[in-house]
Amino acid sequence: MNMFMRKYFSLSLIFLFLFFLLVSYDYMSVDRVMMHMESQSLHRNKVVKVEAELFFHSTDGRMITRYIQPAYQVMIANNKGEVSLFNEKENTVVYRQGHEYSTESGMIQFFLQGKTRDMGLSDFGFQQMDTRFDGNLVITEWFPPASLYHLYNRIELVHEDFMPIYVAYYDATRNLAKKVYYSDFQHFGDVYLPGLVTEFNYIGNDSIINRIRFSNIKVNHQAVSPWFNFEIPSDARLRN
């Protein structure tokens, strides 16, 4: 993927796409949802800020991300792994397709599915191998299936008051590769969603910190905006 795509996909697709995946409607009847997102990425004393508005359709998992900072960018993704990035100012569009772009490929969706006990790890073939307690914390360790040995040695999941608050990922060399914290939970019906997600990515002796905050969340009849029906103009020029 070129730098143009990485700039907008790396941060948003890791968390931002993964947050609003309403694929289980028996647990919470949501037709559509809109919200505001602000994120900051810190690396080597440099801060990259991203601000966007998000509009999500539950029927086909279609998510529209309208970037405010940097401006002029609109991203559309669906549950088939089809994603497009439209530059309003230049009237150009970039298309990509892959499982990693699907709005069903993330973890935060499991808050909405009521799968907070294992955050969907079982669905990916992970097996719970150990449970221990530390005060009010419940710590479980999950071992990967053989197909993921090259990526993970184990994943550690920490709960407090039945809510997942921390996930640690250990790579195939048993080194800590990533930590993700969930906090500032918000209540919607029978569902709790984290209003703040903080991620630490470790690269050798260096690290990248991503922090994403969600606000002004509206669902169903309160979620009203013409952006739900946005389509890329037919005359937009294709970019590679």
Give tens-digit pLDDT for 83-104: 999 999 999 999 998 876 666 6
Q: How much is the pTM?
A: 0.75
Nearest alpha-carbon partner for 103 in 38, 49, 55, 154: 55
Give tens-digit pLDDT for 69-87: 888 899 998 878 889 999 9
CB 33 within 8 A of CB 20: yes
In order of their start, the domains of the chain are 3-239 (2.50.20.10)
The helix (H) or strand (E) run that includes residue 6 is helix 3-11
Alpha carbons 62 and 21: distance in angstroms, whole number: 9
Q: What angle do CA 203, 195, 96 make, to 5 degrees?
A: 55
CB atoms within 10 A of CB 185: 15
Nearest alpha-carbon partner for 86 in 190, 2, 5, 179: 5
Give tens-digit pLDDT for 185-239: 887 666 677 889 999 999 888 889 999 998 998 877 888 999 999 999 999 999 8
